[in-house]
Structure 1
Amino acid sequence: MDMLRSNIDEQRRRLQQELHEPLDRIARRLRGAWPERGPVTTVLQNSIRELPHCTYLYALNTGGIQICDNVSHAGLLPEHYGRDRSQRPYMKELVPADGFLLSEAYISLIGRRPSLTALQLVRDADGTALGFLGADFDLRNLPHSGDLYEESTEWRQIKGDPSIRGTVFLQTRTDSLMDRDMDSVLSVLEELFSERGVFQCVLHFSSSRATVWTLEDPYRYRILTHDALSEPDTCLAFPRMPYPDTALMPAEAIPEILENLKALRFADETVYLRSSSINLFNGMISLTFSCDGSHYMTWKEFLDRSVGFWLGDTG
């Protein structure tokens, strides 16, 4: 989550740098037109070209009431004159001392789209606050600078459905088709990972199926039922491919990982493994237990933990 937040913060810093100066210029132009609807609207019409990604430009008094039409690149929307925006998310945030605010993202009322608003305080020549210049942006229209964020490899535990956790000791594991043929299933999966280009798998023990993604066709998944997973001939449907050099999970670790998953499935009749995922490139394992709690960790952290650790026997 820290990496995700860091990436978001960096994008916001870049947007602030891009928007602050032009909004400040436009706000200064509004001084002479304030608070007349026609002149204010005209200033915004002549200025919106300086904000190529802006959806709507408008002006508000200090009470959050709109004093002009909405201005867009396509024209005017006069029906927004007099609109009360005082309860919108961006009006409830604290405006910094420099008078510029880039709001947190929110869902727009009109388009139901993820959006954000930039506010610039409008002051008269003496520095007295007159109101705000507002600029709305649809997130899909904003430029994105930088790379996609990297997923954290830090151990994460996520709680699931409270109703399931509350009844966990009233349930008992029932053998699934996969449970009855586990060794064959794991042998097929080992072959798919190490020799057949599968780089991600979500293994559903209780419903006896696996969802897999392959290097050859990474944007589409395949669902393998118990019949396919227990049949070694299934491997022939996947072309042979070399193990990826950029995988964070080494090929030699895969057999031990699969054996440990098997052990967690059968270790206890009440607290047992329901599903698991393996991603070679992330080098990550996820575990979801019968109590509906999930854990995400690196393959090495997974192998460093005994079965007793997961069942609460840390002695």
Structure 2
Amino acid sequence: MKNSWKDSIYLQREELARILREPLAQLAGRCAPAWGDGEALEAILAENFSAIPHCSFLYCVGTDGVQMCNNVGQRGRAPGFLGRDRSQRPYMKEVVPAWGFLLSDAYIGQTEHRPSLTALQIVSRDSQSVGYLGANFDLRNLPVTSELYEEPGYWRQVKGDPAIRGAVFQQCRVESPMDGNIEQALSILEELLTQRGVFQCQIHFSSSQATIWTLDDPFRYRILDHEALNDPDICLIYPPRAYSPEAAIPQRDINRILQTMQALRLTDPTFYLRMASINIFNGMVSVTFSCDGSHYMSHVEFLLKDTTFWF
């Protein structure tokens, strides 16, 4: 089973917790005898800073969330943080588990406004919790240990602007330049997708343009306006490329997908297709209608639905 983005986040956090829990617990134990002495705590944090991997800075806070010492980073003590109230920060509002270690959810830092997270380790003395050892981490400095998730292939619907949905019955499709030349425009796009190395295409029917990405230059998109989509010569500037064997959409299905999009554009004057996309490697098709609702689905599911389903 493929991991979702939430699964990937869970695995990443699980690995970070694994490598951080023991070093922070040991450092909290060293801080306990000096609790209440800010200078002594800073010296302990500075001496042991390198033992906490990927850390940006360390500090100690009381149970009320107020700092008992200054921040200590790679360059040593950072003045100006003694007495800082962290009680309202997101990580201080999370419940620390019974085992005394918390890896917070990510949040946007106050100083540099970058994604960060904080680990809290309870500090105990005489079997009583006296505060927390805090460790701050910049997400830019953390290793990525989980695999990049794959986009799911199940049907997803995303609602758009409520103002557009509310006025859908007051509008009617106005023929765009692409509508008047839609068969030729889609034939050109079919050639580009199946024979000329285009692997992703966004078709903007209402504004008569298409945005394409090619295997030869995948990091840059190109915009084909109505004039280009009306001129088969445009195909000459994209070199012939064999259809990728890694494509999730069979080459023979590209024509059927485009023909279905044409029908969704022209069949109904009120509910009509405004924009659509194809990615041959994801195997996905997306469609956005005049009601501003968007649908994402596998090409197989898309081809199983005819116009009666949509309208």
Matched, 1:148 2:162: no
Counterpart position of 2:252:
252
Matched, 1:13 2:14: yes
Counterpart position of 2:194:
194
**Whole-angstrom distance in 2 between the partners of 1:132 and 1:122:** 5
The letter for the 2-side match of 1:17 is R
- Aligned-residue sequence identity (percent) comes to 53
1:73-222 paired onto structure 2 within 5 Å? 73-124=74-125, 126-222=126-222
Deviations 1:276-315 (A, max 9, x none): 010000000000000000000000100000111011xxxx
The letter for the 1-side match of 2:119 is A
The alignment partner of 1:123 has SS state of strand
The letter for the 1-side match of 2:189 is L
The alignment partner of 1:183 has SS state of helix
Deviations 1:139-172 (A, max 9, x none): 0100111321111001100000111111111111
The alignment partner of 2:86 has SS state of coil
**Whole-angstrom distance in 1 between the partners of 2:60 and 2:85:** 11
Deviations 1:89-116 (A, max 9, x none): 0000010000000000000000100000
| Count of equivalent residues | 310
The alignment partner of 1:59 has SS state of strand
**Whole-angstrom distance in 2 between the partners of 1:44 and 1:253:** 62
Deviations 1:52-107 (A, max 9, x none): 31111000000000000100102221101100000000000010000000000000
1:18-97 paired onto structure 2 within 5 Å? 18-97=19-98
Counterpart position of 2:296:
296
Would the aligned equivalents of 2:200 and 2:214 in 1 still touch at CA under 8 Å?
yes
**Whole-angstrom distance in 1 between the partners of 2:25 and 2:52:** 12
Aligned-pair CA distance for 1:2: 6.7
**Whole-angstrom distance in 2 between the partners of 1:232 and 1:309:** 33
Would the aligned equivalents of 2:124 and 2:131 in 1 still touch at CA under 8 Å?
yes
Q: TM-score, normalised by structure 2?
A: 0.98
**Whole-angstrom distance in 2 between the partners of 1:55 and 1:288:** 44
Q: CA RMSD in A?
A: 1.0
The letter for the 2-side match of 1:93 is E
**Whole-angstrom distance in 2 between the partners of 1:141 and 1:200:** 33
Q: TM-score, normalised by structure 1?
A: 0.97
**Whole-angstrom distance in 2 between the partners of 1:197 and 1:115:** 40
Deviations 1:243-269 (A, max 9, x none): 001100000000010000000001111
In the TM superposition, structure 1's runs of 4+ consecutive aligned residues that sit over 3 Å from their partners are none
The letter for the 2-side match of 1:210 is A
**Whole-angstrom distance in 2 between the partners of 1:117 and 1:94:** 13
Tell me, which stretches of 5 or more residues in structure 1 are unaligned?
A: none
